[in-house]
């Protein structure tokens, strides 16, 4: 537990972004160890999905773009998040998304050393290449996990299932992504295409950087906003379930 907190403090001392959790102060060498973060208003996206079902396309894109901006800040400083999932995204009543939980973060150099790398993260969202000894993880592994989280936001469901960790791992490696429109018919074709690329089995077929992904998301978000003129009024509606 102390190692996870120490990693949080290490990342927080190097990376700062409005959509990334802030580490205010830490002392993990003293007898009474502590780590100080701001108190975040709101609930996790995982809680919203659990209570309200899937989010709208506009909501999902808005949240995804904010988180991708935080991810870009991490990657620019040569850190991987390592555990991207809806439970690690806080969403405030003002519509502000914050990426949290940096305990599994890895430096780029650590993630590519396959001989000593420990598999970390949540198997429901983990990239296929992190589960093999042949390839190392990189920033595209975070993009894959974010794509699975995006699918979860759009549909309220997980794309892959297994009765054992081994079955779940095999599903990530071999099974095609189910069409999210089978659950949510409102998803535009352009969004499905981007989602399919984010969750491609081969890293070379995914968006190659978080910064590039942000540039792809902005026009999709603008189009969704125009199609849903009530989006700015309804974006926080799921939060009413927690009041």
- The catalytic residue positions are 83
H helices of the chain, in order, are 2-14, 45-52, 57-76, 108-111, 139-155, 165-174, 189-198, 210-227, 231-234
Across 102-117, b (16+ Cβ under 10 Å) vs e yields bbbbbeeebbeeeeee
Across 49-86, b (16+ Cβ under 10 Å) vs e yields beeeebbbbbbbbbbbbbbbbbbbbbbeeebbbbbbbb
User: Using only C-alpha atoms, what is the Rg of the chain?
Assistant: 18
Q: How far apart are CA 157 and CA 5, in angstroms?
A: 30
């Amino acid at each position: 537990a102390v190692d996870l907190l120490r990693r949080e403090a290490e990342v927080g001392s190097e990376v700062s972004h409005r959509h990334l959790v802030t580490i205010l102060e830490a002392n993990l060498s003293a007898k009474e160890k502590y780590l100080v973060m701001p108190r975040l208003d709101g609930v996790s996206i995982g809680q919203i999905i659990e209570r309200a079902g899937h989010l709208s396309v506009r909501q999902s894109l808005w949240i995804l773009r904010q988180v991708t901006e935080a991810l870009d800040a991490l990657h620019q400083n040569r850190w991987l998040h390592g555990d991207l999932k809806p439970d690690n995204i806080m969403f405030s009543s003002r519509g502000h998304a914050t990426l949290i939980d940096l305990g599994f973060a890895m430096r780029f150099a650590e993630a590519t050393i396959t001989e000593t790398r420990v598999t970390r993260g949540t198997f429901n969202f983990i990239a296929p290449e992190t589960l093999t000894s042949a390839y190392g993880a990189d920033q595209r592994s975070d993009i894959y996990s974010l794509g699975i989280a995006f699918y979860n936001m759009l549909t309220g469901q997980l794309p892959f299932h297994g009765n054992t960790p081994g079955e779940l791992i095999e599903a990530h490696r071999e099974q095609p992504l189910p069409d999210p429109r089978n659950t949510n018919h409102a998803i535009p074709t352009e969004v499905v295409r981007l989602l399919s690329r984010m969750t491609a089995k081969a890293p070379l077929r995914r968006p190659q950087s978080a910064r590039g992904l942000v540039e792809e998301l902005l026009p999709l978000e603008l189009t969704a906003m125009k199609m849903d003129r009530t989006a700015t009024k309804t974006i926080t509606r799921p939060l009413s379930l927690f009041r």
